[in-house]
Amino acid sequence: GAVVSQHPSWVICKSGTSVKIECRSLDFQATTMFWYRQFPKQSLMLMATSNEGSKATYEQGVEKDKFLINHASLTLSTLTVTSAHPEDSSFYICSAREDRYEQYFGPGTRLTVT
Amino acid sequence: QKEVEQNSGPLSVPEGAIASLNCTYSDRGSQSFFWYRQYSGKSPELIMFIYSNGDKEDGRFTAQLNKASQYVSLLIRDSQPSDSATYLCAPQDNYGQNFVFGPGTRLSVLP
């Protein structure tokens, strides 16, 4: 099956700093990648959709200047949380899709902002 | 506003029984329906998907779809303790662009 990796698996950072999370599709070319956020005991919330080579489409209520997404190649997308605050602490999950319909999820990145 | 509803549970079934997970959706334009399993602290993993009315079987799992009723379900036969997880229903829109995830149903299979 399709494999998606994320790095780092978990990260702790201080308030006000920026954190970059990488999402890679290892054995397929991902034309579209998605970024989700999940708070404890809640469902996945889509943050943004990115297509390779174009600007990401952000969901309503997600600040594009705070959550910078770059989809520079067909196998790599990055999410940068800028000026992180404790309320940004969450489980960030990416998913990737080739030309078929199903999405394959990365293992997630747990971010803790102190 | 596209909505997906699932019973949050927990749904408890004894080992070996059939677990039935239900999902309703509001977007009549939804064409494909995906079921994901999420263990605590982990990311979702795809179980199966269905896009035609009726039943689709894959091993111990059977997905059932009724587009007229805007209802999709997942049956798990011979439930095992390892099936204990949260199950997410995800209709996909007609453009094949995006999922709207339901809140998930927490399943507990008792040994």
pLDDT in tens, B9-39: 899 999 999 999 999 999 888 888 999 999 9
Q: Which residues of B touch A32 (CB under 8 A)?
A: 97
Residue type, B39: Y
Q: Which residues of A touch B32 (CB under 8 A)?
A: 101
> Residue A33 phi/psi, 5° resolution?
-125, 145
Contact present, A28 and A99 (Cβ < 8 Å): no
**Residue among B96, B103, B104 whose CB faces A101 most closely:** B96
> Residue A10 phi/psi, 5° resolution?
-150, 150
Q: What is the secondary structure of B16-59 as a DSSP string? A: TS-EEEEEEES-TT--EEEEEEE-TTS--EEEEEE-SSEEEEET
Is residue A8 reached through a cis peptide bond, with omega within 30 degrees of 0 on the bond before it? yes
* Cβ <8 Å between A101 and B92: yes
Is residue B103 reached through a cis peptide bond, with omega within 30 degrees of 0 on the bond before it? no
Q: Does the beta carbon of A44 lie under 8 angstroms from any beta carbon of chain B?
A: yes
Signed CA dihedral, B39, B40, B41, B44: sign only: positive
B109: Cβ contacts below 8 Å, ≥ 6 apart: B12, B13, B14, B15, B17, B19, B79, B80, B81, B82, B83, B84
* Contact residues, B window 45-84, toward A, CB-based 8 Å cutoff: 45-46, 49
CA distance A33 to B32: 18
For A31-90, the pLDDT digits (tens) are: 899 999 999 888 889 999 998 888 899 999 999 999 999 988 889 999 999 999 999 999
CA distance A46 to A3: 20
Report pLDDT for A68: 96
Report pLDDT for B96: 62
* Cβ <8 Å between A49 and B44: no
Report pLDDT for B59: 96
C-alpha distance from A58 to closest chain B C-alpha (Å): 12
Q: Which residue of B has its CA nearest to A50?
A: B97
pLDDT tens sequence for chain B (111 residues): 678 999 888 999 999 999 999 999 998 888 889 999 999 999 999 999 999 999 999 999 999 999 999 999 999 999 999 999 999 999 987 666 677 888 899 999 999
Q: Which residue of B has its CA nearest to A31?
A: B97
Report pLDDT for B66: 96
Q: Does the beta carbon of B1 lie under 8 angstroms from any beta carbon of chain A?
A: no
* Secondary structure percentages of chain A, helix, strand, coil, to 5: 5, 50, 45
Q: How confident is the model at residue A102 (pLDDT cuts 50, 70, 90)?
A: confident
* Cβ <8 Å between B104 and A46: no
**Residue among A32, A43, A102 whose CB faces B88 most closely:** A43
